Amino acid sequence: AQTVTQSQPEMSVQEAETVTLSCTYDTSENNYYLFWYKQPPSRQMILVIRQEAYKQQNATENRFSVNFQKAAKSFSLKISDSQLGDTAMYFCAFMKANTNAGKSTFGDGTTLTVKP
């Protein structure tokens, strides 16, 4: 079974600064997907970024980028130029890349607070 660990339950960052959220996972699979999701307070979950394990290039979406280290089974999220709207709980998730690829495993989440 796959496990996803987010070792930082809470983090804070000053507006406009950069913050990195950590995620490690355990799997024997070679092909899989990794995701970061954002859940703002009392608002809907949003997919932030996706990484395909077969791609060596780290995924980037505007101010959000990942550092994917396949051998180390590490998948961290970097948020640059943090904004107040980035305040949310962030979940890291793993999904196998096969016909059972709808079955996700989530970490416990990191609550990020962006301070003005």
Partner 1 sequence: KAGVTQTPRYLIKTRGQQVTLSCSPISGHRSVSWYQQTPGQGLQFLFEYFSETQRNKGNFPGRFSGRQFSNSRSEMNVSTLELGDSALYLCASSPYGLWDNEQFFGPGTRLTVL
Q: Does 106 interact with partner 1 (rule: CB under 8 A)? A: yes
* Minimum CB–partner distance for residue 116 and partner 1 (Å): 27
**Interacting residue with partner 1 among 3, 30, 62, 103 (CB under 8 A):** 103
* Total number of residues that touch partner 1 (CB under 8 A): 22
* Minimum CB–partner distance for residue 15 and partner 1 (Å): 26
Which residues within the stretch 24-83 sit at the binding site for partner 1 (CB under 8 A)? Answer: 33, 43-47, 50
Could you give the C-alpha distances from 41 to 6, 86, 105, 112, in angstroms and in order? Answer: 19, 10, 22, 11
Half-sphere exposure in the Cβ direction for 80 (13 Å, CA): 7
Q: What is the CA radius of gyration of the chain?
A: 14
In sequence order, what are the residues at sequence separation of 6 or more whose Cβ sits closer than 8 angstroms to the Cβ of residue 68? Answer: 34, 51, 53, 58, 59, 74, 75
Q: Does 16 interact with partner 1 (rule: CB under 8 A)? A: no
Q: Does 2 interact with partner 1 (rule: CB under 8 A)? A: no
DSSP state of 103: -
* Minimum CB–partner distance for residue 12 and partner 1 (Å): 21
Binding site for partner 1 (CB under 8 A): 33, 43-47, 50, 91, 93, 95, 97, 99-109
